[in-house]
Amino acid sequence: MTERLTAISGSMFSGKTEELIRLIGRSEYAGKNTQIFKPVIDDRWGKTKSIKSHSGTEHEAIPISASKDILDNLDPDTNLVAIDEIQFFDEDIVPVIRELLDRNIEVIFAGLPTDFRGEPFGQMPILLCLADETVSLTAICTYSENGEICGKPATKTQRLINGEPANYDDPIILIGAEESYAARCPNHFVVPGKPENIFSRKS
Ligand SMILES: [Zn+2]
């Protein structure tokens, strides 16, 4: 017996957490007992034990640092596990999810398919292949020129350092720099210094 795996995939600002919270609410209405997990690294909203969508909806969540902690923190009556920001988890997340499904626990996860370089993020490629259903979300490209925003569907997450596109080789932590992220369509997604590879696209 195995349960169902649902993936929610999309760039930053595409409403993944909002969709995750919606699906959790729907399953709880159907009588499921849910536990939500998130990586410790996700401190967008401070070190609170919750997940929060950009629109303000909130749900209690357990912050963990290793994938296997999910199994250690599992309540006996849990039959739905939701995982946010799954791209940050180590590679054990794949066998952990297999284990949950085999224990007849439904799993829903949300994650970024690609990183700021436009390359596969963590275990997302494998997880998307394992999923029985994938909800693919897009944001709106906020690139602006002459005061007008692009407005096309955004599938990429642009990393900006002091307002400029981050270089391919920029370190993950930059001391003293102001870092931000923005949603971009493929035409306005820029990674200076990016080597030619299968994930390069000409704009
Ligand atoms: Zn654009």
Q: Let me know: does 57 contact 19? Beta carbons within 8 Å.
A: no
Options 18, 19, 85, 106, the catalytic residue: 85
Torsional sign, CA 121, 50, 74, 68:
positive
- Predicted pLDDT of residue 173: 67
**Splitting the chain (203 residues) into consecutive groups of 10 residues, what average pLDDT does each group show?**
92 94 91 93 58 72 94 96 96 98 97 94 97 98 95 96 92 77 95 87 62
CA of 25 to the centre of ligand 1 (A): 33
CA of 200 to the centre of ligand 1 (A): 16
- Predicted pLDDT of residue 179: 87
CA gap 140, 149 in Å, rounded? 9
Q: Let me know: does 149 contact 22? Beta carbons within 8 Å.
A: no
- Predicted pLDDT of residue 198: 83
CA of 185 to the centre of ligand 1 (A): 4
What's the token pair of residue 71? 């199994």
- Predicted pLDDT of residue 199: 82
Name all domains of the chain by residue range, CATH numbers in brackets. Answer: 5-137 (3.40.50.300), 140-188 (3.30.60.20)
Task: Specify whether the backbone of 88 is left (phi greater than 0), alpha (psi in -120 to 50) or beta.
Answer: alpha
- Predicted pLDDT of residue 197: 84
Model's pTM, two decimal places? 0.90
CA of 78 to the centre of ligand 1 (A): 42
- Predicted pLDDT of residue 54: 67
Instruction: Decide if 85 is catalytic.
Output: yes
Torsional sign, CA 73, 79, 83, 86:
positive
- Predicted pLDDT of residue 178: 84
